Amino acid sequence: MAKRTEKEKQTLLIRFTTQLGLGYNKEEIEDNLGLNPGDYEPLLSRFYEQAESGFKSKSNLRIFLDYTTRQAQLVRDLERLKIALEGKQWKNGQAYVGAVKVQSDILDRIIATGQDLGLIQKIAEKFIMVGGVDVRDMDMPKLMNSLEEEIISVRKLQGGRKRGRKNNNVIAFKPNVDENTDEEIDEQVKG
């Protein structure tokens, strides 16, 4: 790097960092800043050193707050876009829906990032397992079919033995499960 004062070096580094942030490539940055051959790599090294020390000194909370602030700015920008799109022709309807989805994704990423950094407690999903099947969201007919399949599977494993019951059917299902009342099912299970 050419001989520069410390203040000039700091100013150049700030301008260099800005150019990187705007997405310019090496040649564009060299042209925009009027860099001499060989100036780019030392500036890039100083940028990395400064960025690395900044990240090392930040706590998870500080990193999360910085991230959240930037994401909130994006959400505000999307809000402005949605307002601009309201009442426009239908072709902009897809853009509006896209903006809503992006906002939702941003909020989901904020929560996921907070969980990854250990700042937001992640609550495990609740499962209701019966015979290795998650029955949490099953309606009654599907649940009864699943249980019946599980009973048949167990019988096959047992080789069809009756295990001390007179009736090999544990529950006698009616053809339409919806016709079974709770009392009938309780009676069949007890029986």
Element (H, E) at 107: helix 93-116
Residue % of the chain over a pLDDT of 90: 8
Domain match, 47 and 79 both = no
Query: What domain range is 145 assigned to?
Result: 130-190
Quick one: 158 and 171 in the same domain?
yes
Reduced to 3 states (helix: H, G, I; strand: E, B; else coil), residue 48 is helix
Structural domain total, the chain: 3
pTM passes above 0.85: no
Any domain includes 110: yes
Q: Rounded CA gap, 180 and 144, in Å?
A: 10
| Helices 6-21 + 40-57 axis angle, to 10 | 80
Q: Give yes or no: residues 143 and 165 share one domain.
A: yes
Distance CA 101, CA 124 (A): 25
Does one domain contain both 183 and 134? yes
Residues 150 and 176 in one domain: yes
Domain co-membership, 76 together with 49: no
Q: Is residue 125 assigned to a domain?
A: no
Q: What is the CA radius of gyration of the chain?
A: 32
Amino acid identity at 122: K
- 67, 95: one domain: yes
If asked whether residues 140 and 186 sit together in one domain, one would say yes
27-44 average pLDDT score: 91
Q: What is the pLDDT of residue 15?
A: 92
Listed range (27-36, 123-132, 165-174) with the worst mean pLDDT:
165-174
122 lies in some domain: no
Question: In terms of domains, do 112 and 154 share one?
Answer: no
Residue-wise pLDDT tens digits, 69-113: 888 888 888 888 877 777 665 556 677 777 788 888 888 888 888
- The helix or strand, by DSSP H or E, that contains position 74, with its residue range, turns out to be helix 60-85
Residue 155 lies in a domain: yes
Q: Does 124 fall in a domain?
A: no
**Does 187 have pLDDT greater than 90?**
no
| Judgement on whether residues 25 and 52 belong to the same structural domain of the protein | yes
Half-sphere exposure of 109 (CA within 13 A, CB side): 14
Residues 25 and 49 in one domain: yes
Domain annotation covers residue 154: yes
67 in any annotated domain: yes
Determine how many CB atoms are found less than 10 A away from the CB of residue 37: 6
53 and 64 co-located in one domain = no
Is residue 16 domain-resident?
A: yes
CB 107 within 8 A of CB 75: yes
Cα 69 → chain centroid:
18
Distance separating alpha carbons of residues 162 and 191, to the nearest angstrom: 15
